[in-house]
Structure 1
Amino acid sequence: MLLNKEYWEERYKSATTNWDIVEISTPLKAYIDQLKDKNSRILIPGAGNAYELDYLIENGFQNVFVLDYAKHPLDAIIKRNKSLKKHLIHDNFFNHTGTYDLIIEQTFFCALQPSLRPKYVDKMYDLLSKKGKISGLLFNFPLTKEGPPFGGSQEEYINLFSNTFSIKTLDNAYNSIKPRVNKELFFTFEKK
């Protein structure tokens, strides 16, 4: 299976987006609620319908950007709220340039072919400012050959990220939505 732009466009057009919970996830909401610096530059890559964007904007964060390979979900965000258009980037994550203080991870990592995971880590490092953080949710179930989503484990994430990131938090999410209980790890990794 080739997880290219056309694949993702078709998933959105056919509404086969079972990862989309139609609102911000409770772990990310709780995390955002404790953020203090409203001027932080924030990126949400592979964000799909990006309900996190709405929540961040509603709570005073203005330097927030959503990046997605597929145009369909970006169009859905504009349809939902035209004023959010200036926060949208239609691009391949691996081609994107910029500098961010925080990158929020929500179902993007698990949607990539597992062979791209080391490249993902390198790109995250490149996009973050000094002492920048990546924070969010990673799935905690056995890595599968079928996906997306593809699984992963705490051990795998430590091995992938620990050379270039300090592991600040990597624990079972205590406030996952019911279908994801015991299947998500909440994490914060800081750029070394």
Structure 2
Amino acid sequence: MTYKKNKTDFDKEYWEHKYANNKTGWDIGYVSTPIKEYINQLKNKDLKILIPGGGNSFEAEYLLNKGFKNVSVLDIAQQPLKNIEKRIPQFPTENLINQNFFDHTTTYDLIIEQTFFCALSPSLREMYVDKMYNLLNKDGKLVGLLFDFELTEEGPPFGGSLIEYIQLFYAKFEIKVLEKCYNSIKQRQGREFFFIFEKK
């Protein structure tokens, strides 16, 4: 079976097909260094955390192992959530959410961005910002990585620039950190920004 992608709608079928055919190049098989180091300095283990478009979510596994009690993974595809259930039997199944991100309504203290933004059609970026704002509690943070390479029609992953990200987020978020990532994994060195955005 061949799947013809629609450039404006990377839907459930598209992503299920990726997992079924093991075309998951974004999945590095462990928590990336910048996210790991950010998690390491978090003190409040009761934070309510969401990882949207989380896939196999080694970030969620790392958080669980560090004692964070309230971590949810959301993905439009069912397969990665089944993979988590199998790999981490102690992960609360009610926190594995098979849903379109834009339909989700629960709120969180922290949302971790890891290769989700770049997987969405660029036409959805303003909707992404609005949705993140609505999903965060007062003073909530959106933290993670954004790609630093030219935005073209080829993707996912879709790139972007520092200026574009500032223009997208500044109205709804205080930009605490948005800088070239110094501790990217080898294959992404020089191609990532690390960011911390706080809900205004």
- Compute the TM-score of the two structures, normalised by the length of structure 2: 0.95
Name the CA distance, whole Å, in 2 between partners of 1:80 and 1:87.
15
Q: Which residue in 1 is equivalent to 2:3?
A: none
User: For residue 119 of structure 2, what is the aligned residue in structure 1?
Assistant: 111
**1-structure distance, mates of 2:12, 2:38:** 30
Q: 1:144 Cα deviation (Å)?
A: 1.6
1:78-105 alpha-carbon deviations (Å, 9 max, x no partner): 1111221232111110000111000000
What is aligned with 2:38? 31
Q: 71, 89, 99: which one pairs with 1:91? A: 99
1:179 counterpart residue number: 187
Number of residues of Structure 1 aligned to a counterpart in Structure 2: 192
Q: Secondary structure at the match of 2:90?
A: helix
| Structure 2 residue 12 is matched with structure 1 residue 5 | yes
Q: Separation in 2 of the partners of 1:130 and 1:169?
A: 18
* 1:73 aligns to 2:80 (yes or no): yes
Unaligned runs of 5+ in 1: none
Q: 2:137 aligns with which of 125, 129, 132?
A: 129
- Identical positions, percent: 60
Structure 1 length-normalised TM: 0.99
Q: Which runs of 4+ in 1 moved over 2 A?
A: none
What is the alpha-carbon root mean square deviation over aligned residues? 0.7
Q: Secondary structure at the match of 2:59?
A: helix
Query: Is structure 2 residue 50 aligned with structure 1 residue 43?
Result: yes
SS in 2 for 1:20: coil
User: Does residue 1:157 correspond to 2:169, yes or no?
Assistant: no
Structure 2, gaps ≥5 residues long: 1-5
Query: Residues 55-110 of structure 1, C-alpha deviation per residue, up to 9 Å, x if partnerless?
Result: 00000101110000000100111111122123211111000011100000000000
